[in-house]
Amino acid sequence: MAKSLGPVKRKFSPWTDPSATPFIRFENITKRYGDFIAVDNLTLDIYEREFFSLLGPSGCGKTTLMRMLAGFEEPTSGRILLQGRDLSGTPPYKRPTNMMFQSYALFPHMTVEKNIAFGLEQDGLPKPEIRARVEEMLKLVKLEAFARRKPAQLSGGQRQRVALARSLAKRPKVLLLDEPLGALDRKLREETQFELMDIQHTLGLTFLIVTHDQEEAMTVSDRIAVMDKGIVVQVATPAEIYEGPNSRYVAEFIGDINILECALTENAGVCLHEGHPPVVRLESDGLSIAVEQECPAAVGDRVAFAIRPEKVRISLDPPAAAETNTAHGEVWDIGYLGDFSVFLVKLEDGRVLRAAQANVSRLVDRPITFGDMVWLTWPLDAGLVLTR
Amino acid sequence: MKPSRFDSTVLTLCFAFLYIPIIILVIYSFNASKLVTVWGGFSLEWYRVMWSNEGLMDAAWVTARVGVLSATLGTVLGTLAALALNRFPRFPGRMAFTGMIYAPLVMPEVITGLSLLLLFVAMNVDRGFWTVTIAHTTFTMCYVAIIVQSRLLTFDRSLEEAALDLGCPPVKTFFRITLPLILPAIVSGWMLAFTLSLDDLVIASFTTGPGATTLPIKIYSQVRLGVTPEINAVCTILIGLVTIGVIIASITTKRNEARRIRDEHAAIRGAG
């Protein structure tokens, strides 16, 4: 399917500008249900035109946070500001936000065009204007041919697009998307992710998306807030979160990662490369690891060393360079993923490290196989010391 | 599997047991003879007699009015009760309220009738049309509440939230979204309420007074003086009405089902 791409995307990072005012501000929000604390004293800023994700496992409070912004729940304490205006006490039907529901919530007794026109009718817009806007929306989601159908006569993907069109029709200041792609199959989901980004970019709206799918969050978002048990653990761009998780929780939630328990033996040591941070040395059951990183921990502290599998090189020959970290072990298992192969390497002390290798050539029989003794190496800037 | 001789015998006996009395009643309503048990040839005489029997016609008219009024009141109250039970999972006295909604279903009619009679006497209300209507409303609303509540259990609340989210205030949301979607349940609740009111003898005889004799009471009192063929005629008409109602209901259900299947097929084709 040929797609017309919107305007070229530019670097967008208002959150780095201290003078920028946030578009949405969650200020010390707490939500309690009886004894259960769904959201715990949470503060979060979202900027205009941002595509922002709330990511976390179910029960982490992300949906509650979104429903409070939509007005379906009132915070127990704290306030939500939209463009500086306090939203407390404003009912959902008076808020300039619109939501796309996880179940789509299409009105089954109305046709597609009636569904899309519903919100516009509530605003009392003149009929011709409503018709024009509905047509524009149908065109945006490529459903012109289905205007007269009822939701029951549509496929899952089409319903998803009607739900999107309906929530966009009123041009909300913020569009809230609750697990918008959860019900679609993988291929359609990937396609729709790019379409969503395109639509967000073209219309210049602020999107807030709730998801438990880390891949989805990584693909679409400008920034991601990773949540756990009612608090935000880290807010950063997808790349920052993937390359520099601030805790084990984030590191393990996003992507695949090896974690080794270590003791810190030297901090702020020599500076091996100009412009790089000084070296931190760790000791993990006989394995010495060096990392170039600023680290707040002191010598003797228990810390974790984390490294992504694709940053671990695997080789049958011992490394030549002295300046890398090395580990020696036996290939325990291999996961062939097509684009990547993941090797599970058992170290001498029984711990298992994962190393991923891109399958760059069309070999069916790979040179490294089960039972081979291999060398794992990684440079000083590939891993990360996590103190919490 | 081919039905065995035993199966078909049992089936025939069951149907005979159920329907032979009704068939005999219908046949004898067309009997020319005045004697109920002797066939004297085909005639519509008793339908004419029935038509000119003012007492019977008055009773039919009372029954129709009581039925429509009490079914409508019962439907409104029952729907509200169902909404309250569905929408407010916790409120003081909920258990008691739930129990009292279901109680009249299992309560012997004699008790319901008697307690209503005592109430009306205690309140010094003259018994008649309105007391029967109120009595029928109280017991039909329970059936409506149960039917509507079971529909609300499968009602997707996010539909209402979506309407609110799109700027529709709560009351309007109820009339634009909730009501149209639960309407089939409300309509079948109304029909059940109407039917229950139509054939109630016990509660009506406790709570009615002079001038508001319902059809079942009238038939019952006439039969005590002997079965006349015109009663057969009245009953045949009642059976006819109920049969037509059931047939319309089942055709509508079947049509809806067929349309749902067609829609699904259209959706699958459209998905490509």
Residue A91 maps to which CATH number? 3.40.50.300
Whole-angstrom Cα distance, residue A290 to residue B195?
Answer: 85
Chain B partners of A105 at a C-beta cutoff of 8 Å? 156, 158-159, 161-162
Q: Report the CATH number at residue B152.
A: 1.10.3720.10
Whole-angstrom Cα distance, residue A316 to residue A322?
Answer: 17
Residue B161 to chain A, least CA–CA distance (Å): 8
Residues A196 and A286 in one domain: no
Q: At a CB cut-off of 8 Å and minimum separation 6, what does B87 contact?
A: none
Give the range of the structural domain holding residue B167, as residue numbers without chain letter: 27-258
B182 in a structural domain:
yes
Residues A23 and A95 in one domain: yes
Residues A170 and A58 in one domain: yes
B16 in a structural domain:
no
Residues A33 and A156 in one domain: yes
Q: What are phi and psi of B212, to 5 degrees?
A: -135, 55
User: What pLDDT sits at residue A258?
Assistant: 92
A133 contacts chain B (CB < 8 A): no
CB-based burial of residue A198 (10 Å sphere; 0-12 exposed, 13-18 middle, 19+ buried)? middle
User: What pLDDT sits at residue B144?
Assistant: 92
User: What pLDDT sits at residue A131?
Assistant: 94
B59 in a structural domain:
yes
Residues A190 and A284 in one domain: no
pLDDT above 60: residue A47: yes
Whole-angstrom Cα distance, residue B7 to residue B1?
Answer: 12
Last residue of a domain, one of A251, A275, A306: A251
**Number of structural domains, chain B?**
1
Rg (CA), chain A: 25
Inter-residue long-range contacts of A196-202, CB under 8 Å, 24+ positions, other chains counted: A196/A164, A196/A220, A197/A51, A198/A3, A198/A5, A198/A6, A199/A140, A199/A164, A199/A168, A200/A51, A200/A175, A201/A6, A201/A7, A201/A9, A202/A6, A202/A7
| Secondary element (H or E) of residue A288 | strand A287-292
Residues A263 and A230 in one domain: no
pLDDT above 70: residue A7: no
Contact: B263, A153; criterion CB under 8 Å: yes
Please answer whether residues A27 and A39 qualify as being in contact, where contact means their C-beta atoms are separated by less than 8 angstroms. no
Q: Where are the beta strands (DSSP E) in chain B?
A: none
B22 contacts chain A (CB < 8 A): no
Please answer whether residues A382 and A311 qualify as being in contact, where contact means their C-beta atoms are separated by less than 8 angstroms. yes
Pairing assessment for the beta strands A258-266 and A302-307 based on DSSP bridges? antiparallel
Q: Report the CATH number at residue A331.
A: 2.40.50.140
Per the listing, tokens 């595509």 go with A51
A122 contacts chain B (CB < 8 A): yes
Q: What are phi and psi of A117, to 5 degrees?
A: -75, -15
A5 in a structural domain:
no
B10 in a structural domain:
no
Q: At a CB cut-off of 8 Å and minimum separation 6, what does A147 contact?
A: A111, A112, A113, A134, A138
Residues A182 and A283 in one domain: no
- pLDDT tier for residue A27 given thresholds of 50, 70 and 90: very high
User: What pLDDT sits at residue A20?
Assistant: 84
Last residue of a domain, one of A251, A275, A307: A251
Cα-based distances in Å from A307 to A240, A242, A243, A258: 14, 11, 9, 5
Query: Mean pLDDT lowest for which of A129-138, A366-375, B1-10, B138-147?
Result: B1-10
Chain A partners of B163 at a C-beta cutoff of 8 Å? 107, 118
Q: How many CB atoms lie within 10 A of CB A294?
A: 10
Count of pairs with CB atoms under 8 A, one residue in A, one in B? 83
Chain B, window 124-183: residues with a beta carbon less than 8 angstroms from a chain A beta carbon: 156, 158-159, 161-170, 177, 180-181
First to last CA, chain B: 40
A3 in a structural domain:
no
| Secondary element (H or E) of residue A265 | strand A258-266
SS3 B258: helix
Please answer whether residues B165 and A100 qualify as being in contact, where contact means their C-beta atoms are separated by less than 8 angstroms. no
Residues A218 and A310 in one domain: no
User: What's the whole-number mean pLDDT along residues A130-158?
Assistant: 90
Render A128-162 in DSSP notation, one character per residue: HHHHHHHHHHHHHTT-GGGTT--GGGS-HHHHHHH
| Secondary element (H or E) of residue A281 | strand A279-284
A109 contacts chain B (CB < 8 A): yes
- pLDDT tier for residue A76 given thresholds of 50, 70 and 90: very high
Whole-angstrom Cα distance, residue A103 to residue A227?
Answer: 22
Whole-angstrom Cα distance, residue B272 to residue B159?
Answer: 27
B125 in a structural domain:
yes
A210 in a structural domain:
yes
A149 contacts chain B (CB < 8 A): yes
Per the listing, tokens 């009395």 go with B21
User: What pLDDT sits at residue A2?
Assistant: 43
Bridge partner residues of A54 (DSSP): A210, A225
Whole-angstrom Cα distance, residue A289 to residue A280?
Answer: 8
Query: Mean pLDDT lowest for which of A127-141, A298-312, B31-45?
Result: B31-45
Q: At a CB cut-off of 8 Å and minimum separation 6, what does A175 contact?
A: A97, A98, A99, A100, A167, A168, A200, A205, A206, A207, A208
Average pLDDT, chain A: 88
B264 contacts chain A (CB < 8 A): yes
Query: Within 13 A of B188's CA, how many CA atoms are on the CB side?
Result: 15
Q: Which residue among A92, A146, A150 places its CB closest to the CB of B164?
A: A92
pLDDT above 50: residue B272: no
Contact: A105, B260; criterion CB under 8 Å: no
pLDDT above 60: residue A256: yes
Residues A68 and A136 in one domain: yes
Residues A320 and A206 in one domain: no
pLDDT above 90: residue A107: yes
A351 in a structural domain:
yes
User: What pLDDT sits at residue A371?
Assistant: 86
ipTM over 0.85: no
Per the listing, tokens 């319901």 go with B112
pLDDT above 60: residue A4: no
Average pLDDT, chain B: 86
Query: Mean pLDDT lowest for which of A264-268, A354-358, B35-39, B72-76?
Result: B35-39
Q: How many CB atoms lie within 10 A of CB B44?
A: 12
Residues A41 and A133 in one domain: yes
A7 in a structural domain:
no
User: What pLDDT sits at residue B262?
Assistant: 79
pLDDT above 90: residue A190: no
User: What pLDDT sits at residue B268?
Assistant: 65
Last residue of a domain, one of A251, A278, A302: A251
Q: Which residue among A118, A146, A150 places its CB closest to the CB of B166?
A: A118
SS3 A239: helix
Query: Mean pLDDT lowest for which of A60-69, A254-263, A270-279?
Result: A270-279
Computed from CA positions of residues B203, B205, B210, B216, in that sequence, does the dihedral angle turn out positive or negative?
positive
Contact: A150, B271; criterion CB under 8 Å: no
Residues A206 and A273 in one domain: no
Cα-based distances in Å from B129 to B48, B192, B198, B211: 27, 21, 14, 8
Contact: B164, A91; criterion CB under 8 Å: yes
B266 in a structural domain:
no
Nearest residue on chain A to B181, alpha-carbon basis: A109
A6 in a structural domain:
no
Mutate to test the interface with A, among B165, B175, B183 (most CBs of A within 10 A): B165
Whole-angstrom Cα distance, residue A53 to residue B142?
Answer: 48
Render A68-123 in DSSP notation, one character per residue: HHHTSS--SEEEEEETTEE-TT--GGGSSEEEE-TT----TTS-HHHHHHHHHHHT
- pLDDT tier for residue B162 given thresholds of 50, 70 and 90: very high
Q: How many CB atoms lie within 10 A of CB B41?
A: 8
B48 in a structural domain:
yes
User: What pLDDT sits at residue B257?
Assistant: 80
B68 in a structural domain:
yes
User: What pLDDT sits at residue A204?
Assistant: 87
**Number of structural domains, chain A?**
2
Q: Do you know the residue count of chain B?
A: 272
Q: Which residue among B167, B181, B260 places its CB closest to the CB of A123?
A: B167
Give the range of the structural domain holding residue A189, as residue numbers without chain letter: 14-251
User: What's the whole-number mean pLDDT along residues A238-265?
Assistant: 90
A202 in a structural domain:
yes
In the numeric block, which tokens belong to residue A2?
A: 């040929």
Chain A partners of B258 at a C-beta cutoff of 8 Å? none
A8 in a structural domain:
no
Query: Mean pLDDT lowest for which of A257-261, A265-269, B58-62, B229-233?
Result: A265-269
pLDDT above 50: residue B189: yes
pLDDT above 50: residue A147: yes
